[in-house]
Structure 1
Amino acid sequence: MFELFDLIGNWVAYDLLTLASDSASGAAIQFFVMDALKIFFLLVVIIYAMGLLRAFVSTERIRALVAGKPLWVGRSMAIGLGSVTPFCSCSSVPLFIGFVEARIPVSITFAFLIASPMVNEVAVVLLVSLLGWEVALWYVLAGWAVAYVGSVVIGWFKPERWVESYVWDIQRRQQQEAFAQANGFKARHDFAWNEVKVIVRRIWHWVIIGIGLGALFHGYVPEAWVTATLADAANWWSVPAAVLLGVPLYSNATGVIPVVEAMLGKGVPLGTSLALMMSIAALSLPELLILRKVIRWPALALFVAVLVVAFILVGYLFNWLGQWMV
């Protein structure tokens, strides 16, 4: 399915608009069309599926099931799910919304949101083939650690209070769920489809803005400029600079790995390169714009602060380990 979206993006940018495939505008338009189709598809499918699930199984039962297990089990399961879903940061948001709607603890949903764009099987295979199994292993362990510790720290602040009310309107949903469960499949379908309309209507314009910004950076920020900037800053502040530089950029871990390989070839330290990779994959400006319509500013600021600190620490660690690994 995602390959089809890529083909449609190619058709719009290079055939319909006749833009050159090696032009910045062509790359930006292709990326925008492809990513918009993918994210809206995921929004509709995942929110509908979670709504249908809740029309069969009440949120109280789901909550009781999760609450009956230790938090470390829930976090581990969320990280495991994130590790096998090759989503970019924006594509992970629909499932994040679905988890919140199902009343799964918000700190656990953040574990998924951090792990999913950072660690997946495709990225691991590429890391092994390009940088070796030692780098891949350490990267995966670092990604899991960031997701787990980050979700613990976020959980300390009780983030449930910062979820937007339309996402987690418990009383309204309980009434609608009870009606759907008592009136057959048609009522369940109507409940699930109404959830899609409510959520998409609230956030669609932010999705467009976020993807548009990501497309501009994707098409108009040259990889050579990023590499040269960080290669010239091979000192203590290169890691924080890489993390901050990665925020406005937008891609997934798979798309960033070749850039990391090129950066290493230009002399950028391993930790600095991977800090940039983590920041681009898990902490992008388009993702933050979309998330803002789901969680309030305090939760968003906490999420950003935790990941920035974690990525900087991981970058310094990898710069030290890189003396033996690369």
Structure 2
Amino acid sequence: MTQTMTFIDHGKGGGADVLVMAQGPVPQPAADEVLIRVQAVGVNRPDVAQRSGSYPPPPGASPILGLECAGEVVSAGAGVTRFKVGDKVCALTNGGAYAEYCVAPETQTLPWPKGYDAIKASALPETYFTVWANLFGTPHAAGGKLAPGETVLIHGGSSGIGVTAIQLAKAIGCTVLTTVGSEEKCKAVLEFGADHAINYRTHDFAEEVKRLTDGKLVDVILDMVGGKYFAQNLRCLRLDGRLSIIAFLGGHIAPEVDLRPIMVKRLIVTGSTMRPRTTAQKAEIADALREKVWPLLEQGKAGPHIHEVFPLGEAAKAHALMESSQHIGKIVLAVG
């Protein structure tokens, strides 16, 4: 096997135009890792944040961009037991996916769902790990603890995260409200299964939630906007409601907020990031996905919506599209 590979270098960081093709050594798998010949890579907001310099990789992680990929196992560490050379897999990586080869812990690696190709499989790990942990939760993480029959508000419903959250919430029998930024996106999220779509550019979403639920409000909110939505989110939650924050696209500082609803309605406010979690914590999520979500994917009850596929060498265009927020669903890079 070759000792060198092509990867996307973001240098010292900056705008999307800093992304260039470069050559470097093929990484070698540790005892608990697999080496994947990458065929496709999912593009995510954290990639954009890392490129711009606001989200540096944790110690020990690859400095190369990319948190999810799909491809073929070409080598495995001495302690790997779940996968063998030739297996088609997708993985939540610890960085390094914008490349021809990438390593990933075997416990963060999953088989392609039946009927999937590399493009679809690459769009799964980062999004599904994030949604599962933050919307449903795991034994060692709070999350939204969304339960069958509850009502959920999902912000950013047309994003990869949003589409996934809508589908999984509907799959367990929840009522889903979502916010998006255009009428085109309203139409799209309704087709993905949302019960109600709110255009936040033309409506006060908190007032719309009150109207659409006949004043009953919602049990859970999955929020990627952050600061500027905090006060309105509190207004949307009913008694014992849960707010799960996963990003700060609208800033991390909330304007002056009346905190009394948290006490009066016994609200829970939680949040998390995926990348700093331990391998054991990510393995717990991976096991839950394989048991509870992979069957839904194989039955066609959930699955990624691919907005556009770019060659690896056009990563800059993919990032520019991501930053424009004009996409619906996932953006993917094809490798090779």
Task: Please identify which structure carries the higher helix content.
Answer: 1
Q: Could you say whether these structures have the same fold, taking a TM-score greater than 0.5 normalized by the shorter chain as the test?
A: no
TM-score range, shorter chain: under 0.3
Q: Structure 1 length as normaliser, TM-score? A: 0.26
Higher relative contact order (CA 8 A, sep 6+): 1
Q: TM-score normalised to the size of structure 2?
A: 0.25
